[in-house]
Structure 1
Amino acid sequence: MTEIELRRYRKLDQPARQTLIDLYADVRAPLLHLPNYAVATFAERLDRHASEPGFEVVVAYDQDQPAGYAYGNTIEGGDRWWTRMAKPLPAEITATPALALKEIGVRIPWRGTGLARRIHDCLVAGRTEKHVTLMVNPAAGDGKVLALYESWGYEAINEVRPSPEAPPLIAMLRNLP
């Protein structure tokens, strides 16, 4: 296996943006027919997220071939991330800035190699937020994706439906060092 290079971006220039869109389309290929997973919908979300505070992307390259990615940004107490939750959360969670992990994905040839965890750990390394939070479809991978996040130290904290087109999701949280 070749050496994987992890590249961090805090600004989304056009080549990096297109790389993320291409990666997303490959990673999410079986779901692209659903409105919430359409490539155009992802591109709109990506552009919005890239303009938000604390935005950062990590892209993994195997030689020069993109293999996976993750990105997130800082959210505050009044952020729509928190306000869409099914039940109100305690202030000790929402009152301090958190890193919202908005997307993570690994292309099929690199799945099962630990690359997702390496990308994740690179993204959260050195962040100043107190927590990292993510949303996961509990049905993804027949529950294996949820179990993976639990093995990384995340705990389910709430339920959320980000949009009418989106499936019901589980909000998860983990403390940052």
Structure 2
Amino acid sequence: MFPALDTIRDVVLDVRAALLHLPNYAVTAFGERVDRHSAEPGFTAVLAYADGHPIGYAIEHGDRYWQRTSPTPADKFTERPAVALKEIGVRPTWRKTGTARRIHDALLAAHDEPFVTLMVNPAAGEGKVHALYKSWGYEDIGRSQPSPASPVLTVMIRASR
């Protein structure tokens, strides 16, 4: 088990409070994903703190989901490994403070892959989360449904630097 998982789970309870009833967003499903990813080489996590309290997180591992992306991404995106931002979340009281972007950038600072990719529920926050990622330079390249319990997500990518 990933040592900081309990801390991240506490943050997830706030981050996803309105979605916890959905199977893909349940804390147990999140824990299972983190346990699976953290057991593999290359797993990275970032925790953000303010006044000694955890306020946000990001986790990253591998880019295997290219296999499920439709349409198939261009070769320039898949010919070399990409950073795959699997989860990012910030407690509601810390949103709109730049915290998510700082967590994102801290995670990328540890990597030298040419691209970073993520998936977003286009309906999340009435499209605000998708718009936020676009403002960070991400572009849509396809759609993916990572599991039967997951909604269809928009796959986004941008240069790492």
TM-score range, shorter chain: over 0.9
Q: Structure 1 length as normaliser, TM-score?
A: 0.87
Distance in 2 between residues matched to 1:175 and 1:163, nearest whole Å: 26
Match of 1:33 in 2: 21
Between the two proteins, what is the percent identity of the paired residues? 55
The 10-residue stretch of structure 1 (98-107 or 45-54) with the greater mean CA deviation from structure 2? 45-54
- The alignment of Structure 1 onto Structure 2 pairs a total of residues equal to 161
Aligned mate of 1:138, from 97, 104, 122: 122
Match of 1:117 in 2: 101
Distance in 2 between residues matched to 1:102 and 1:51, nearest whole Å: 15
Q: Structure 2 length as normaliser, TM-score?
A: 0.95
User: Does the 8 Å CA contact 2:2/2:34 hold for their aligned counterparts?
Assistant: no
Q: How far did residue 171 of structure 1 move?
A: 0.2
The alignment's C-alpha RMSD in Å is 1.3
Match of 1:7 in 2: none
Matched, 1:56 2:56: no
Matched, 1:66 2:50: no
Aligned mate of 1:82, from 63, 66, 75: 66
User: Which structure 2 residue ranges, 5 or more long, are not aligned?
Assistant: none
Matched, 1:12 2:26: no
Match of 1:150 in 2: 134
1:44 aligned counterpart, secondary structure: helix
User: Which structure 1 residue ranges, 5 or more long, are not aligned?
Assistant: 1-10
Matched, 1:95 2:95: no
Q: How far did residue 38 of structure 1 move?
A: 1.1
